[in-house]
Amino acid sequence: MIILVINCGSSSLKYEVFAMPEQSSLGKGLVERIGLSAGKISQQAQGKSYDKVTEIPDHKVAFELMMQALLDPQKGVLSQPSDIQGIGHRVVHGGEQYSASVLIDEDVISAIRANCELAPLHNPANLTGIHEVSHFFPNLPQVAVFDTAFHQTLPPSAYLYGIPREFYDKYKIRRYGFHGTSHRYVAGIALQMLKRSPENTNLITCHLGNGASITAIQQGRSIDTSMGFTPLEGLMMGTRSGDIDPSIIFYLEERGFDFHDLQNILNKQSGLLGLSGISSDLRDIETAAEQGNADAIETLETYAYRIRKYIGAYAANLIKVDAIVFTGGIGQNAIKMRERICNRLENIGIHINHEKNRKVGGETGIISQDYSPVTILVIPTKEELQIALDTAQIINPELQTVVL
């Protein structure tokens, strides 16, 4: 079974083709700068590169370019469009309606549209992807894989805010959580590595990248997660502030800051970038810290401290933690940051092995001491593969594959 995975953004289109049940990637690509005159498509497939710069006025043209690349006789992936048997979409927000991936029909499309007000930057683009796929593949089954679905198992004590209940009842203001597909994927791999079943295993998964979130997983179910009503809550991130005192917004408004300016500041000018004044890229900040830059040093310490706070809080609620997983661009590759985070966590049974940590680097592996009660793992996330797994299983429930 050949599955095409689509991640459609407002100005970009990411895609990857998988052979199932082998779980092998046949090729992947990116169409970027949609809506601009100097658009670009780049594709990597079995050691061959396909690149083209051209005007990409809309998503229809973007999908046409994707199909041209996939079907290219020399550098393509497919021999004909009918090779594709199913299509999986990353959809950011499923609201409270969906706690699992689903076959797309008119009801699902209506729900995605209704949740556009909760994810105005993402759900409309996701809907565009579904619409364009329907144009190119009118008879193929499509599956929606929601970022929020994994977190629909949160109990009310974790998802409710301490605000008037009518705001939840009327406006559905609550913690939704994001990165659910990534947290679910690495949790499944962790269980395989540890040879454990979800029923007797508690995990804390740390997805650390430009966007970052931490999830507490009890017996295979998400019971708390750091992102909230929007992806702005929680950890300090590349350009997002994470948790702040809400009164800061009112304080700045009284001093002349416009609402839209504040929204832009908190989402795009804060976090690692804002605090360091250097970059949103952790590597640049670490380089500056090594050169003695005081702001860079404080930024690294603050970033690690915030993550430790969440790990400690989730460990308290889980009571027993069997493993911690690091994933995402920073979690997977930032060796020194993993050490900073784990420092001072020995009192709750988290003991990192510095030699193993350096040796594992950015690959999959265990980086904890042999005597550590809590196993520490590094697992590269593969959200596209998880989407392909879900899609294949929904289209053909009898397909013999491991669904994470």
| Secondary structure of 71-86 as H, E, C letters | CCCCCCCCCCHHHEEE
Count CB-CB contacts under 10 A for residue 188.
18
Q: Locate all alpha helices (DSSP H) within 195-344, ordered by sequence.
A: 247-254, 259-268, 271-276, 282-290, 294-318, 328-333, 335-342
Q: What is the pLDDT of residue 404?
A: 47
Question: Which residue positions in the chain have pLDDT lower than 70?
Answer: 400-404
**12, β-bridge pairs:** 32
Phi/psi region, residue 319 (left: phi>0; alpha: psi -120 to 50; beta: rest), is left
Question: Tokens for 59?
Answer: 């998503």
Q: What's the rounded Cα separation, in Å, for the pair 340 and 239?
A: 20
Active-site residue numbers?
Answer: 147
Q: What's the rounded Cα separation, in Å, for the pair 367 and 355?
A: 8
Question: How far lies 362's CA from each of 207, 263, 279, 326, 385, in Å?
Answer: 14, 34, 22, 10, 18
In 3-state terms, what secondary structure has residue 294? helix
Give 95's DSSP letter: T
pLDDT single digits (tens) 8-25: 988 899 999 999 999 999
Q: What is the pLDDT of residue 146?
A: 96
pLDDT single digits (tens) 189-202: 999 999 999 999 99
Confidence (pTM): 0.94
